[in-house]
Structure 1
Amino acid sequence: MSNDDAYDNSGHIPDAASYPPRWEAEALAFRHALGPRAVTNWSYGDNVRQVFDLFMPEDPPKGLMVFIHGGYWRRFEPGIWSAFAQGGLDAGWAVVMPGYTLAPEARISRITREIVQALSFMAETVPGPIRLSGHSAGGHLVARMLCGDAMLPAAVAARIEGCVPISPLGDLRPLIDTAMNADLGLTEREAAGESPTLLGRGLDVPVTVWVGGAERPAFVDQARGLAAAWGAPCEIVEGRHHFDVIDDLKDRDSALMRAILG
């Protein structure tokens, strides 16, 4: 049986098509208001999508909060998500949002390596502790950074103090049986080799898995599976679906931001 419906978020969210343009408009206004404290399209590699956006607080930052966007590794770019840096900035942290080469141009295993490259570059830009967060495919990618085979430089890994995968895809094997795999090109071997749920946690840092209670059951199962495999808490937020589960990133006092920044 196909897993297309099980992983079809937009098909089960009212007015789903309105979200991306709304995010983009909010992002533009956010960057405009921030002025020179917003630095966009900073290159960390040779590909046009290997860029990141950096947002700085008014005072010297307490550290670096990383947010990696979702889109099933096939859609979006950092500039759509700028407004979700608000909570981190208000808490006194620098917030960085990396992009990555999208499928089908890049396989997921290559995207994982690009995020390692991005983190290594970004860590040189802002000193202090690093807190990882990511949504959906981005939740997968931040979890991958903690796996033993991620090959983060030791100096960067030592600065990571916490990770919150939001609505993560921890086990990629079900995606083989979806139409999107025409772009992802997942094989059984790569799916298993890129699944944090199967690989285990290599870095001993606090992890909290986050998911909306109104998400597709497959995503709730994915979150629970990753949390169980890693011995981490799983917070299921009642009433939140896959698109609005990240709204609390804008509020420094939210439970989500407390989980990310401690």
Structure 2
Amino acid sequence: MTTLFSALDWRAMSQEARDLGLNNGVAVPGSVDMAAGWEQRSAEVRKRFPDQLDLRYGPRERNRIDFLKAGEEAPTLLFIHGGYWQARAKEVFTIFAEGPMAHDINVALIGYTLAPEATLDEIVGEIHAGIDFLAAQLPALGAAPGGIVVSGWSAGGHLTAMALSHPKVKAGLAISGIFDLEPIRHSYLNEKLRADEATSRRNSPVMQEGGPLKPLSLVVGSAELPLLRKQTADFAGHRARYGLPVTYEEIPDANHFTIMYEMMSPRGRITTLIRQLFDRTTG
């Protein structure tokens, strides 16, 4: 029997149950090998698009953007990687540019400083600085001017929601994101994140009154951990209550890792949603 989201309360869970309820690596056997395969395939994609890699947008080592050009005057998607703000890198995810690029959409992938070397506030600030840089560079890169669409997976889904307020961002698509940081703050993940209550509330989109009046698509896998599915459902409800443009859907049978294949494929559901966001915001 499926547990109703309304019955899920992380506060009532034991520490062990809460930690396991947020641990995607344990929940998805083989996820380490899966991500290693992504990184290998991403290296091959990077070899095909060597001209605009590691464009520096800030002073720190990971303040770099890879820009993969699909065509002249094409629109641009910015992708933000996941890893609970403390792991992984943009180079793991290049392979997922293939879906959007098949439809003449440029894909930029942004790196950012990881916790504990950076706080949540600093990470959000780096994403905004990267958007400043990328938007200014679009004409020189041969891309269409006029704003970008942002997407991200897991922690990148959270950063997508936080980036929606940037004036150069016109829409977003958050994949399996985190939108309430309070359960994160009370889990094993906060050992490196080191967020206090004020930081958590300041950076939790679901705790804000209202939000940016821009289209946001929210997706999560039906086979993901219930606490994480609830994060996306709750945030969709939050935006709907404030009359903000939002769509919500669960990808059937997808877990936290296999959901990304819906972006890798030109015919994948996430690729389709990205195309729809560009259609809604172009012109």
TM-score normalised by length of structure 2: 0.85
**Matched-pair contact (CA < 8 Å) for 2:90–2:111:** yes
SS of alignment partner, residue 21 of structure 2: coil
Matched, 1:10 2:25: yes
CA distance in 2, matches of 1:41, 1:15: 30
* Structure 2 CA distance for partners of 1:50 and 1:35, relative to 1, 3 Å: closer
Which residue in the other structure is 1:135 paired with? 153
Summarize the alignment of residues 129-168 of structure 1 with structure 2, pairs less than 5 Å apart.
129-147=147-165, 152=166, 154=167, 156=168, 160-168=169-177
Which residue in the other structure is 1:102 paired with? 114
RMSD: 1.4
User: Which of the numbers 176, 196, 206 marks the counterpart of 2:205?
Assistant: 196
SS of alignment partner, residue 53 of structure 1: strand
Q: Alpha-carbon deviation of 1:235?
A: 0.7
SS of alignment partner, residue 123 of structure 2: helix
**Matched-pair contact (CA < 8 Å) for 2:147–2:170:** yes
Summarize the alignment of residues 101-250 of structure 1 with structure 2, pairs less than 5 Å apart.
101-126=113-138, 127-147=145-165, 152=166, 154=167, 156=168, 160-231=169-240, 232-250=246-264
**Matched-pair contact (CA < 8 Å) for 1:64–1:128:** no
Which residue in the other structure is 2:5 paired with? none
Which is worse superposed, 193-202 or 165-174? 193-202
Aligned residue type for 1:221: K
TM-score normalised by length of structure 1: 0.91
Q: Alpha-carbon deviation of 1:35?
A: 4.6
CA distance in 2, matches of 1:123, 1:166: 23
Matched, 1:67 2:79: yes
Aligned residue type for 1:118: G
Matched, 1:53 2:61: no
4+ residue runs over 2 A deviation: 33-36, 200-203, 251-255
Which is worse superposed, 243-252 or 106-115? 243-252
Q: Alpha-carbon deviation of 1:201?
A: 4.7
Gaps of 5+ in 1: none
Q: Tell me the alpha carbon deviations over residues 85-112 of structure 1, each in whole angstroms, 9 at most, x when there is no partner.
A: 0112111111101010100010111100
CA distance in 2, matches of 1:210, 1:54: 24
Gaps of 5+ in 2: 1-13, 139-144, 241-245, 277-283
SS of alignment partner, residue 65 of structure 1: strand
Specify the structure having the higher radius of gyration (Cα): 2
